Structure 1
Amino acid sequence: MNIENRQPVKVPLVREPWGIFKSLNAARQNVLSIIPEIATRQPMVSGKTGKRWHMVMDPEAIRIMLLERLDQYPKSLVTKNLLRPAIGESLFIAEGAHWRWQRRTAAPVFSHRNVMNLAPIMTGAADRAAARVATAGPRAVDMLDEMVTTTFDVISDVTFSGDGSFDRDSVHTAIDAYISEAGKISLFDILGAPDWVPRPGRIMSGKALKQMKTVADTAIDARAARGADDVPDLLDLLLDGEDPKSKRKMNTAELRDNLLTFIVAGHETTALTLAWSLYLCAFDLDVQDRARAEIQAVCADRPVTGEDVSKLPFVRQIIDEALRLYPPAAMVSRTAMAPDTLCGREIRKGDTVIIPIYALHRSHVLWKDPDAFNPDRFADPKAIDRYAYLPFGDGPRICIGASFALQEAVIILATLLGRFRFHPVAGKDPSPVMILTLRPEGGVWLTAEPV
């Protein structure tokens, strides 16, 4: 670090036992604040807050959960209760056979060829973002807000091809409203109450939710009526998609739930990755200079394209390190469906088993100087334990859009670092806060100096 030798911002973790009500209050403000600090220094932590829970930070135990015994550790009831009202039984939530046929149907949508075909949309959105930043002049810019705008431009265009029947502002507003209200953990979720028990946050977000689904249904029906464009977008590909085993195709409701999953995940998580990447780059001007030299050598003064992504390894390393320090999905939880033993500890049927990815990525056992920003950790990805680094999960349920997100992030970050030198704004450090995703609360305020 070359700015006052400071460490990047981090979440203060728990150093003493908390009761259920203190834990609930803390979780509603920041889910990560309930992680015990000791989780960064040992392979497993267990406790009881209303029900038995375990946090697992051991790569081998995580591999067993995500790969060998996938069906034994489905997504937890808390996760499903939070997200089902918005995205139904889509890929993110579905289990077993219902998940498998959807995954088989959707997998070709995110093939390398299809993702590369969508790269020009990413390049265009990146150029527009750079133009907006340039017009701000010497004034500070909230790069979180800018990246949310940019990635929503991408996801709405690759999903609906600028279709006039798709009201992007309505969907964007509805998504933000749902995340801010319904995403907050309820006492009923902590206690494991059934899904039919009303949650106040979901009642408050019901109108936004209905609007979001109506807009998506209208766009899907309109596209089915008029047919695909010359270059198919995600909706075209999903409409044409068919499970190669059962020959089943998605109906309108299934298409809508999966599209909303891709829209929510596709723009929110990539925007956060970019915002945190820019925060970290502003924090270390040497890293910016190295990245800019790489970008100039590959792209000179032309726009960054999909073909350039593989030629920009250091830009990718910055993104990988940002995903380590601030993983958008910073905690995942599972419900044990059968007795088991992990790290020598008893797991009972019904226990909540959590993978606190934030703590895993900052483990003093697995990483040297884990709270420091050091993109060179990823110079040799093969040297990193596969299950010590999980920004996209792993196993059969690894994020289906990972290659799409990484291509988009490299194109946008390279475009911005190639044109500007970013500096932090004194007294404006963001706070890492997770509700559904790990956001920089307060925004990422930077000044952008043209280069």
Structure 2
Amino acid sequence: MPRDATQGADRTPPLPVRVPLATEPLGIFGSLRAGRRNVLELVPEIATHAPIISNTRGKRWHMVMDPDALRRILRDRVEDYPKSDVTKLMLSPAIGRSLFIAEGQDWLWQRRTAAPVFSHRNVSNLAPVMTAAAERASARFAAAAGRAADAFDEMVTATFEVISDVTFSGGEGFDRDAVHRAIDAYIGQTAKISLLDIIGAPAWVPRPARLVAGPGMRDMKRMADATIDRRRTDTAAKAVPDLLDLLLAGEDPKSGRKMTTEELRDNLLTFIVAGHETTALTLSWALYLMAFDQTVQDRARAEARALLGTRAATAADVPALPYIRQIVDETLRLYPPAAFLSRTAQVADELCGREVRRGDTVILPIYALHRHRKLWSDPDSFNPDRFAPGHRTDRFAFLPFGDGPRICIGANFAVQEAVIILSTLLSRFRFTAIPGRDPRPVMILTLRPEGGVWLRVEPA
């Protein structure tokens, strides 16, 4: 029996939209077309059945879906499997050598400096910003009552409000709309896979689409630098420090090193890019799934209303909303924002009995892992009860935030925000699907709903 035999077996949940995985070899140019159209189309369907798939001709790679091997890559031998050159090529024009792509000691001191920023206390202190964003999102949905609304667009707005308020709370000349446009343009264009990536060209070979991050990206960095420099001279005390305040005050507890303006900027932009896009996607896909399965939506609404009544959720409410947290986890299983990761082996190794050579690309297809037939029962179905209290599954079969030393530093922040916003909306509105308007899961840098998430909105 699969490892996650779940509660609620008598219920037959509907099957939400799914990426059509590859069923035949694509070749170089087929891979390029698929990769630029939807990275997940590079993943073969057999990846949802096999523990590992390898290619040993030409550019060597291994696609790993076995939890024990993933534990080795992400936790036990993490230094031997740094992020791949392709990942760094895609992201470094936007976020420099920040925590997300730094390696070795450069990563370690940044992680030690930033970890206290995302302590439970600090994340809880920032929750009122999330509650306020939930109220504003509710007001926008109320204005759309009785007609269709794009939940993806609304959730991007809400989560960008949150991340900009908790990152640069003072506003100090920081054009939030310009930042939002620059990030969206970067993800949509320069993050696409290149033919040079497919054939394994060295990192020093220029990728034309990435030579210039664009004037918007350069302007964004200049604005961020100016904001940081102004904040350094601002001695006014704040009731609740934002992420910039906390990072400015932070230092590596071992070396005493503090971040420069450039290091602060790159890490703050990392938090902005990752902190709003991924949570917006989780919320959008969750609302799609709620509309798809009204039984789950009704149960979630009952939980939210029993606790909240007519008010918006707060950080204190999150532990008392376990079913809505299960919905968030099940959404992250079906539509993980970071659905395709890659590493580069630095030493010879063996994974699942396969030889791994130094320089081999090791792919972690999280989308396929989360739908693996030997790890999950009825894996394409939507069933939040798989995450019910007392249920056990292998930790390395569910990796929406990664794991090991490099687990996403903002995971608790993201989950708190998602539960606060989702519970507030479900307590007030009913969302129903619009026939023929299902979103299409497409991954470039993150797993987005192409065409938006169009739902009918009614007061609950």
Same fold (TM over 0.5): yes
**Which of 188, 195, 200 is the matching residue for 1:192?**
200
Task: Give the equivalent residue in structure 2 for 1:10.
Answer: 18
Contact 1:328 1:438 in 2 (8 A): yes
Deviates more, 1:133-142 or 1:159-168: 159-168
Q: What's the secondary structure of 2:101's corresponding residue?
A: coil
Deviates more, 1:9-18 or 1:102-111: 9-18
Q: What's the secondary structure of 2:278's corresponding residue?
A: helix
Q: Number of paired residues?
A: 451
Closer, same or farther in 2 for the Cα pair 1:235/1:381, shift >3 Å? farther
Task: Give the equivalent residue in structure 1 for 2:219.
Answer: 211
**Which of 52, 58, 69 is the matching residue for 1:61?**
69
Task: Give the equivalent residue in structure 1 for 2:144.
Answer: 136
Task: Give the equivalent residue in structure 2 for 1:260.
Answer: 269
- Rounded to whole Å, the distance in 2 between the matches of 1:27 and 1:348 is 24
- Rounded to whole Å, the distance in 1 between the matches of 2:168 and 2:13 is 46
**Which of 52, 74, 78 is the matching residue for 1:70?**
78
Normalising by structure 2, report the TM-score: 0.96
Task: Give the equivalent residue in structure 1 for 2:189.
Answer: 181
* Deviations, residues 220-243 of structure 1 (Å, cap 9, x unaligned): 112112135231000000000100
- Rounded to whole Å, the distance in 2 between the matches of 1:432 and 1:48 is 30
- Rounded to whole Å, the distance in 1 between the matches of 2:325 and 2:14 is 23
- Rounded to whole Å, the distance in 1 between the matches of 2:58 and 2:440 is 29
Q: What's the secondary structure of 2:233's corresponding residue?
A: helix
- Rounded to whole Å, the distance in 2 between the matches of 1:301 and 1:49 is 61
Alpha-carbon offset, residue 216 of structure 1: 1.0
Task: Give the equivalent residue in structure 1 for 2:177.
Answer: 169
- Rounded to whole Å, the distance in 2 between the matches of 1:175 and 1:62 is 30
Task: Give the equivalent residue in structure 2 for 1:320.
Answer: 329
- Rounded to whole Å, the distance in 2 between the matches of 1:53 and 1:336 is 10
Contact 2:31 2:198 in 1 (8 A): no
Contact 2:13 2:293 in 1 (8 A): no
- Rounded to whole Å, the distance in 2 between the matches of 1:133 and 1:162 is 27
Please list every run of 5 or more consecutive structure 1 residues that lacks an aligned counterpart in the other structure. none
Contact 1:324 1:361 in 2 (8 A): yes
Task: Give the equivalent residue in structure 2 for 1:334.
Answer: 343
- Rounded to whole Å, the distance in 2 between the matches of 1:18 and 1:132 is 44
Task: Give the equivalent residue in structure 1 for 2:288.
Answer: 279
Q: What's the secondary structure of 1:383's corresponding residue?
A: coil
Task: Give the equivalent residue in structure 1 for 2:3.
Answer: none
Q: What's the secondary structure of 1:102's corresponding residue?
A: helix
Task: Give the equivalent residue in structure 1 for 2:452.
Answer: 443
Task: Give the equivalent residue in structure 2 for 1:389.
Answer: 398
Contact 2:13 2:383 in 1 (8 A): no
Deviates more, 1:382-391 or 1:118-127: 382-391
**Which of 124, 131, 154 is the matching residue for 1:146?**
154
- Rounded to whole Å, the distance in 2 between the matches of 1:16 and 1:157 is 47
- Rounded to whole Å, the distance in 2 between the matches of 1:88 and 1:400 is 17
Normalising by structure 1, report the TM-score: 0.97
Closer, same or farther in 2 for the Cα pair 1:236/1:350, shift >3 Å? same
- Rounded to whole Å, the distance in 2 between the matches of 1:204 and 1:92 is 21
Does residue 1:307 correspond to 2:316, yes or no? yes
Deviates more, 1:352-361 or 1:290-299: 290-299
- Rounded to whole Å, the distance in 2 between the matches of 1:184 and 1:312 is 38
Alpha-carbon offset, residue 4 of structure 1: 11
Deviates more, 1:375-384 or 1:386-395: 375-384
**Which of 230, 235, 239 is the matching residue for 2:244?**
235
* Deviations, residues 200-237 of structure 1 (Å, cap 9, x unaligned): 22246422221121121111112112135231000000
- Rounded to whole Å, the distance in 2 between the matches of 1:203 and 1:59 is 37
Closer, same or farther in 2 for the Cα pair 1:206/1:195, shift >3 Å? farther
Q: What's the secondary structure of 1:373's corresponding residue?
A: coil
Alpha-carbon offset, residue 380 of structure 1: 2.9
Contact 1:177 1:205 in 2 (8 A): no
Q: Which amino acid aligns with 2:222?
A: T
Does residue 1:349 correspond to 2:358, yes or no? yes
- Rounded to whole Å, the distance in 2 between the matches of 1:43 and 1:298 is 43
Alpha-carbon offset, residue 445 of structure 1: 0.3
- Rounded to whole Å, the distance in 2 between the matches of 1:230 and 1:49 is 59
- Rounded to whole Å, the distance in 1 between the matches of 2:415 and 2:453 is 20
Q: What's the secondary structure of 1:46's corresponding residue?
A: strand
Contact 2:330 2:382 in 1 (8 A): yes
- Rounded to whole Å, the distance in 2 between the matches of 1:130 and 1:390 is 30
Q: What's the secondary structure of 2:189's corresponding residue?
A: helix
CA RMSD of aligned residues (A): 1.6
- Rounded to whole Å, the distance in 1 between the matches of 2:161 and 2:82 is 33
Q: Which amino acid aligns with 2:398?
A: Y
